[in-house]
Amino acid sequence: MNGNAIEVLDLVKRYGNVTALAGVTFSVSRGEIFGLLGPNGAGKTTTIKILTGLTPPTSGRAYVAGFDVVRQPNEVKRRVGWVSSEVILDDDLNAWENLELQARLQGVRNWRERATELLKYFDLLQSAGRPVGGYSTGMRKKLEIATALLHSPEILFLDEPTIGLDVNARAMLWDLIRTVNREFGVTILLTTHYMEEADALCNRVAIINLGKIMALGSPAELKSSVGGEVVELEIERPVDLSALKRLPDVLDVAASDGKIRITVRKADETIPAIVKSLDFSAVKSLKVEKPTLDTVFMKLTGKRIEESHVDYRRFYAMIRRSRR
């Protein structure tokens, strides 16, 4: 099958009078790791639900693996894997039993071989006979990804894959996602509200807010779109800035109460020239600000992503405990 892995055209989804998606268009090429980055209620999960056939769109079109999600949902479902943001496994069953159920739902023959391979790969083989209820958060997440990969999907949807994980587990999962993408050749669409995650993992990122895509591009493109990096100098006495302003790579110079903010394309490469262009004995300190995806989000919406996002980690941990 040629063409893009995912093709989304003007997708709209309304729940009553709440507009979850207000016309979203994007496409994901095969083999890509594509990220939807946005705060609570942006419409990330809604997008995934539509693309996996869990809910129909109000209007618009979506093609996944070449099939229309509304007209050929089963063709789509056979070719995608889905990992929810809240881990969904049956706590009464062990890993084998959870995998077997998934295999039978997806009609996978010889599932034991594939399951063994995945359990080995995800380092879960030792504990596979234990009911999943006793697994750690990281183990549960890994098992959920393993179940989602059991039927060898072309496309994997990961909804907030590292929410509720500690720093180590998150790093482990990032590696895992990269290898799954590379070695299993799986296209990945993930959602996140962690800008570092989108930056570290994704080939391309769509910044989504209030059901609309605000910007789309590679992390580097998005960051350079906000206008380069800033070198900030703290100075003891006024200095002559005329030579600095003439430097070719300097985009902007702004001086105010003892500080000079110099906007450049690449700070690492321009700092030597800056040092030479002014009386550096007057400089007390030097600081480099590189734009992050958060800077991009802030420029687009006037808010920070993480500020507008509740941290669910403790909340989910609580839910999981009460489930036992």
Partner 1 sequence: MSGLGAFWGLYKREVVKIYRRAFALVMTFMQPIIWIIFFGSSLNGMPREYLVQFFGTPNYIGFVLPGQLATSMLSTGTFSAMSIVWDRRFGFLKKILVTPAPREAVFFSKVAGAVTRGLVQVPVMLAAALAFGVALPLDPVGYLEWIAALMLLGIGFSSIYLAVAMKSSDWQHPQLVANVMNLPLMFTSTALFPRTFYPAWMRAIADVNPITFATEIGRGVVLNDPYTPTLLGYLAAFAAASMAIGLLVARRFMTAE
Does 74 sit near partner 1 (CB under 8 A)?
A: yes
3-state helix, strand, coil in the chain (%, to 5): 40, 30, 35
Q: Which of 45, 98, 147, 162 contacts Mg ion by CB under 5 A?
A: 45
Task: CB nearer to ligand ATP: give 40 or 136.
Answer: 40
DSSP helix/strand/coil, 314? helix
- Between CA 82 and CA 201 the distance in angstroms is 18
Q: How far is the CB of 74 from partner 1 (least distance, A)?
A: 4
Task: CB nearer to ligand ATP: give 172 or 210.
Answer: 210
Q: Shortest CA distance to 7 belongs to which of 23, 38, 29?
A: 29
Task: CB nearer to Mg ion: give 36 or 150.
Answer: 36
CA angle (157 as vertex; 46, 107 as ends), nearest 5:
110
Q: How far is the CB of 160 from ligand ATP (least distance, A)?
A: 6
Q: Which stretch binds Mg ion (CB under 5 A): 39-47, 76-84, 245-253, 311-319?
A: 39-47
Binding partner at 42 among ligand ATP, partner 1, Mg ion, none, C-beta below 5 to 8 Å by kind: ligand ATP
Does 162 sit near Mg ion (CB under 5 A)?
A: no
Does 101 sit near partner 1 (CB under 8 A)?
A: yes
Does 228 sit near partner 1 (CB under 8 A)?
A: no
Does 47 sit near partner 1 (CB under 8 A)?
A: no
DSSP helix/strand/coil, 146? helix
DSSP, res 283: E
Does 92 sit near partner 1 (CB under 8 A)?
A: yes
Binding partner at 116 among ligand ATP, partner 1, Mg ion, none, C-beta below 5 to 8 Å by kind: none
- CB contact at 8 A, 196 and 28: no
Burial of 77 (0-12, 13-18, 19+ CB in 10 A): buried
- Between CA 208 and CA 297 the distance in angstroms is 9
Q: Shortest CA distance to 172 belongs to which of 205, 204, 141, 203?
A: 141
Task: CB nearer to ligand ATP: give 111 or 157.
Answer: 157
Kindly list the residues in this chain that would bind partner 1 in the complex (CB under 8 A). 49, 52-55, 74, 77-78, 80, 82, 84, 86, 88, 90, 92-93, 97, 100-107, 131, 323
